[in-house]
């Protein structure tokens, strides 16, 4: 939700630096505190706000030791040079592969921990497309199991299928000079995984292994981070869930240790000989083929993947080597194999969730929320769902409403009106629970009291509750290992829903985030509620003066004023906190034989926040089963999403839960969607949003979107216009921004309103197509948003393209991604194979050469969209809500390919049931002047077929018939080659099969 580092760096300290055990100091709190003291005012979000003077957690409380990441340390010990590796022995064949013992091949190196001398190796063919390689310590008991083994109740392990007769993967191993293994694709001889030339390092806090890679390799995935789609060969991906405001290239909220590897080969047309090529010197007209495979490391510990010029080196702070290799051979195959066989298929979403959502941090009361809803209606911009950030809570406490600003009775009336109009409401829920002030008898909070009595909160090693700091003040954190935690969470959700009938839940701060290191609230609860250790946006020292790139060109005077105010604020901050001239030496963690240092492990990963406990629950926080947070930190967000899913099943029995969460792990897509977090109002972040979405398609979380128009900073008219149109083609479509920034709802600027209406008209008309894509994703693991290289696997020129994308197989979007541009640049794939592309707006065939980077006119308010020839797209009317659209007439958009053929599919159900009682499938096929529709299933859709548009009809037909009967309303455009049929029938469109013919 919020970029805490930005706030912290910009803030005027609100309390003198002091330890958290000292007496209160003056500061600000945005909600009335319970301590006695003076009262002041501040201007926040344009309005005077009254606050009590309360204790502010000092900024120093969230400052850890000065650590130098290993990858940046020129003097770091090199495990590959110092460690002996292992030797394999005792090989025993099994029904699916073999097992062996691995024994340290020399003296322990103990470079970043204590060497584990005896390991066990298990190799098994799990399915005809998946191979598992597992390496773990032989000697495990209750004292160390959690250090190495990821429990299946937290992250299910892929299961063996029927014993396969064959698989296109083969593993061989060697002990020369130490244990290594190679995985080969048998059909081509291509080496997919190769640890030769490196040694296996396996210590109690450090594991390292490497796989050789070809030159200029094409890897994708390794999330979550803001980066281009194709990962470079000089890049390190850090795996550690962090509350950080979308820094480019740094680790952020979630962890997905999975990659897709695509390799291209030039094929000699005469001999058929294949030669591997890089993407540096290739042509869209060449003769190529590609092979893709995937690799999943089932390990939840913090770690890194070093993508070096010649190899990929994995380093983790614990766990085991639990590798799963998927043979593809296409990128689509790999994605399906990973999702269907390893992490679980994406959940099916309710139909209404594909409408447009509006949110912001700064909606101060129900009246303001209703004004937003009414303004969207007044400007005729579709609005499906309105969201509220932490403003609605009583002093930022989960499952409460501030009765002065968001009273239950007023909310119930408003939400009842929304429901009557087919609209919805979603509130935020954070991941920490306020702990009341024991010296204030009126400071009651039943969510804490109930949870405390049921023993569902994380503890310190001594058994006392672990108390960190988040928005409401000093807080505790649910322990998802506790037996009552999920039922307690479900109870809180149900009780809140009884008061506020929301439709879904937004989970935030789930990395899990804390604004101080360690149990800083222990002994300090008499200070509660306390202010965070940084200024909130809009407070003195934290006012927002940033704008998108080029703002000085479009709004020169306003940009000059903002620059002046920003400089004044920076000067005031500098005067209040003069920069220190002292040099802080690096803290160098050391190895203690046989003992784990979980707070500062000897190997220092390149964590964006520094030490592991900075701005996060400390690694030594303890779960009820004795497991330390160090071993499961990356799973917290995944577990709270699971708990929320089951809670919503209790709230809405039989209906699909709608959840958007921030921190995710492999498999989170089975229960929730995700948004891209605290991005910034810059064109750069709009561009990166495409790669973000494509990555989460790989990770099995297709319900993805970003904060449209940007979260941090002020947006402007041009950026918001372009972004509102781009996000209209993302599955999750929401506008959201930060407290005190300029309003950026779609109606704020007339040009943005018009651009939004234009893009939403396309989106809403295509909702049946998008819903069908989601059903296919939910049942097969296919992707919804797609990279061009996945859909056209034999064109290496597409390998790095992430400035355009496909929505399913049939719709291509080429957005404008830069300031001041009135054009887009895009390629039209498949042209050399005869692919035909149509312009969405003119419905004419696009003229392009193979590989040509075409300049596409795109004045402000226009987003280029194209339809792939060979597609039949089902449509309904683009109306104000998804409910209205679902109850409107049907249309078909048929784009013929070069052979006059096209296919498509439609899936229909009730749009909400977890297990629909009935459903309907409609298949479409066009060929030789006829379009066929064939339905199966018992769902009763009563909407009529109104229109059919056929693109690519070479000449004007002399007759057009539907089931042999002449069609009356026919129009043919000889210039665009488009045949349009309107007012076709009043009978339900799919009640019986039909054929439409033209000749």
Under 8 Å between Cβ of 962 and 984: yes
> Which position among 430, 508, 718, 909 bears the catalytic label?
508
Under 8 Å between Cβ of 972 and 979: yes
Q: Is 928 a catalytic residue?
A: no
- Positive or negative, the Cα torsion across 422, 508, 408, 448? positive
The H or E element spanning position 102 is strand 97-104
> Which position among 224, 349, 465, 678 bears the catalytic label?
678
Closest to 37 measured CA to CA, from 24, 19, 49, 48: 24
Q: Is 508 a catalytic residue?
A: yes
Enumerate the β-bridge partners of residue 89: 101
Closest to 222 measured CA to CA, from 207, 232, 234, 237: 237
* CA–CA–CA angle 421, 423, 424 (5° rounding): 145
Alpha helices in 594-635 (DSSP H): 629-632
Q: For 870-993, list the strands marked E by DSSP.
A: 871-876, 890-895, 902-908, 920-927, 930-937, 945-951, 960-962, 965-966, 970-973, 978-981
| Displacement of CA 754 from its chain's centroid (Å) | 29
Q: Is 511 a catalytic residue?
A: yes
Please tell me whether the peptide bond between 329 and the residue prior to it is cis, using omega within 30 degrees of 0.
yes
Phi, psi for residue 368 in degrees, rounded to 5? -65, -40
Residues in the chain: 999
Helices (H) and strands (E) in the chain, counts: 18, 49
Q: For the chain, what is the radius of gyration of the CA atoms?
A: 29
How far apart are the two ends of the chain, measured CA to CA in Å? 58
Phi, psi for residue 712 in degrees, rounded to 5? -80, 145
Angle between helices 485-499 and 408-420 (to 10 degrees): 80
Q: Can you read off the two tokens belonging to residue 924?
A: 């479409």
The number of beta carbons lying within 10 Å of the beta carbon of residue 584 is 9
Distance CA(588)–CA(68), nearest Å, equals 8
| Residue showing tokens 């959201």 | 736
DSSP track, 329-364: SSHHHHHHHHIIIII-PPPPPPGGGGSEEE--TT--
Distance CA(27)–CA(44), nearest Å, equals 15
> Which position among 208, 511, 718, 835 bears the catalytic label?
511
Under 8 Å between Cβ of 220 and 260: yes
What is the 8-class DSSP label of residue 993? -
Distance CA(221)–CA(698), nearest Å, equals 7
Distance CA(501)–CA(491), nearest Å, equals 15
**HSE value, Cβ hemisphere, 13 Å, CA-based, for 492:** 27
What is the 8-class DSSP label of residue 665? B
Enumerate the β-bridge partners of residue 210: 313
Under 8 Å between Cβ of 653 and 915: no
**Residue 562 DSSP SS3:** helix
Catalytic positions, please? Answer: 508, 511, 678
């Amino acid at each position: 939700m919020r970029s805490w580092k930005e706030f912290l760096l910009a803030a005027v300290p609100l309390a003198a630096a002091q330890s958290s055990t000292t007496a209160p100091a003056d500061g600000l709190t945005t909600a009335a505190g319970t301590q006695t003291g003076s009262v002041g005012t501040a201007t926040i979000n344009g309005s005077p706000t009254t606050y009590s003077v309360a204790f502010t957690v000092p900024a120093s409380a969230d400052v850890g030791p000065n650590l130098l990441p290993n990858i940046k340390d020129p003097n770091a010990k090199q495990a590959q040079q110092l460690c002996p590796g292992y030797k394999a022995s005792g090989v025993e064949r099994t029904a699916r592969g073999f097992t062996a013992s691995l024994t340290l091949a020399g003296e322990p190196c103990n470079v970043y921990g204590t060497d584990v001398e005896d390991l066990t190796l298990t190799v098994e063919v799990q399915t005809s497309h998946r191979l598992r390689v597992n390496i773990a310590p032989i000697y495990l008991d209750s004292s160390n199991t959690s250090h190495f083994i990821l429990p299946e109740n937290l992250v299910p392990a892929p299961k063996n299928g029927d014993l396969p007769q064959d698989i296109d993967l083969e593993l061989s191993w060697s002990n020369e000079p130490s244990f290594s293994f190679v995985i080969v694709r048998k059909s081509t001889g291509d080496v997919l995984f190769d640890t030769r030339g490196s040694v296996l390092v396996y210590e109690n806090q450090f594991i390292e292994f490497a796989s050789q890679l070809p030159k200029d390799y094409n890897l994708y995935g390794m999330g979550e981070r803001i980066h281009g789609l194709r990962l470079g060969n000089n890049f390190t991906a850090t795996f550690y869930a962090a509350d950080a405001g979308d820094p480019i290239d740094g680790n952020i909220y979630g962890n997905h240790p999975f990659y897709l590897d695509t390799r291209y080969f030039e094929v000699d047309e005469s001999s058929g000989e294949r030669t591997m090529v890089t993407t540096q010197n290739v042509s869209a007209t060449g003769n190529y083929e590609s092979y893709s495979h995937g690799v999943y490391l089932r390990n939840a510990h913090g770690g890194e993947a070093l993508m070096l010029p010649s190899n990929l080196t994995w380093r983790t702070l614990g766990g085991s080597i639990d590798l799963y290799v998927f043979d593809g051979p296409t990128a689509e195959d790999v994605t399906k194999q990973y999702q269907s066989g390893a992490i679980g298929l994406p959940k099916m979403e309710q139909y209404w969730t594909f409408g447009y959502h509006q949110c912001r941090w700064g909606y101060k009361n129900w009246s303001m929320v209703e004004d937003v809803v009414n303004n969207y209606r007044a400007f005729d911009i579709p609005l499906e769902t309105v969201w509220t950030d932490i403003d609605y809570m009583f002093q930022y406490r989960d499952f409460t409403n501030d009765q002065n600003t968001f009273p239950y009775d007023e909310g119930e009336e408003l939400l009842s009106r929304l429901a009557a109009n087919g609209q919805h409401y979603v509130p935020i829920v954070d991941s920490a629970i306020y702990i009341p002030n024991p010296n204030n008898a009126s400071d009651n909070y039943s969510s804490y009291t109930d949870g405390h009595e049921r023993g569902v909160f994380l503890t310190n090693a001594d058994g006392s509750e672990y108390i960190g700091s988040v928005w409401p003040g000093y807080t505790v954190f649910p322990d998802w290992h506790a037996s009552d935690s999920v039922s307690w969470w479900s109870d809180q959700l149900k009780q809140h829903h009884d008061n506020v009938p929301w439709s879904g839940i937004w989970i935030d701060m789930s990395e899990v985030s804390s604004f101080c290191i360690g149990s800083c609230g222990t002994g300090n609860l008499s200070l509660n509620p306390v202010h965070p250790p940084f200024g909130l946006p809009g407070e003195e020292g934290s006012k927002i003066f940033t704008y998108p790139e080029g703002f000085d060109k479009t709004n020169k005077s306003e940009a000059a004023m903002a620059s002046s105010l920003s400089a004044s604020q920076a000067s005031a901050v500098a005067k209040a906190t003069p920069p220190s001239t002292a040099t802080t030496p690096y803290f160098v963690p050391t190895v203690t034989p046989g003992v784990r240092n979980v707070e500062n492990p000897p190997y220092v990963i390149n964590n964006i926040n520094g030490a592991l406990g900075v701005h996060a629950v400390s690694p030594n926080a303890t779960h009820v089963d004795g497991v330390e947070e160090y071993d499961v930190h990356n799973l917290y967000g995944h577990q709270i999403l699971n708990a929320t899913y089951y809670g919503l099943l209790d709230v809405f029995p039989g209906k699909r839960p709608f959840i958007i969460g921030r921190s995710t792990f492999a498999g989170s897509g089975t229960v929730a969607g995700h948004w891209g977090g605290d991005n910034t109002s810059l064109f750069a972040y709009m561009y990166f949003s495409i790669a973000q979405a494509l990555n989460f398609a790989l990770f099995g979380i297709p319900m993805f979107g970003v904060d449209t128009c940007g979260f941090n900073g002020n947006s402007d008219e041009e950026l918001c216009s372009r972004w509102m149109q781009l996000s209209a083609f993302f599955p999750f479509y929401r506008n959201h921004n930060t407290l005190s920034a300029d309003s950026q709802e779609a109606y704020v600027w007339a040009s943005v309103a018009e651009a939004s209406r234009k893009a939403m008209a396309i989106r809403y008309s295509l909702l049946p197509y998008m819903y069908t894509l989601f059903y296919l994703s939910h049942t097969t693991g296919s992707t919804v948003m797609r990279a061009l290289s996945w859909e056209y696997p034999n064109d290496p020129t597409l390998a790095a393209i992430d400035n355009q994308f496909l929505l399913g197989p049939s719709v291509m979007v080429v957005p404008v991604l830069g300031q001041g541009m009135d054009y887009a640049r895009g390629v039209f794939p498949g042209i050399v194979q005869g692919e035909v592309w149509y312009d969405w707006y003119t419905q004419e065939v696009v003229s392009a050469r193979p590989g040509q980077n075409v300049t596409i006119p795109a004045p402000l308010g226009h987003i280029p969209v194209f339809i792939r020839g060979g597609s039949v797209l089902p449509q309904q009317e683009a109306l104000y809500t998804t409910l209205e659209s679902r109850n409107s007439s049907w249309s078909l958009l048929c784009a013929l390919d070069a052979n006059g053929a096209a296919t498509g599919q439609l899936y229909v159900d009730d749009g909400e049931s977890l297990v629909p009682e009935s459903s309907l499938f409609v298949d479409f096929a066009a060929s030789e002047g006829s379009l066929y529709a064939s339905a199966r299933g018992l769902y009763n859709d009563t909407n009529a077929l109104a229109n059919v548009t056929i693109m690519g009809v070479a000449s004007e037909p002399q007759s057009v018939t539907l089931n042999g009967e002449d069609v009356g309303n026919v129009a043919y455009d000889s210039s665009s080659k488009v045949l349009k049929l309107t007012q076709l029938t009043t009978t339900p469109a799919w009640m019986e099969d039909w054929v439409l013919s033209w000749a």
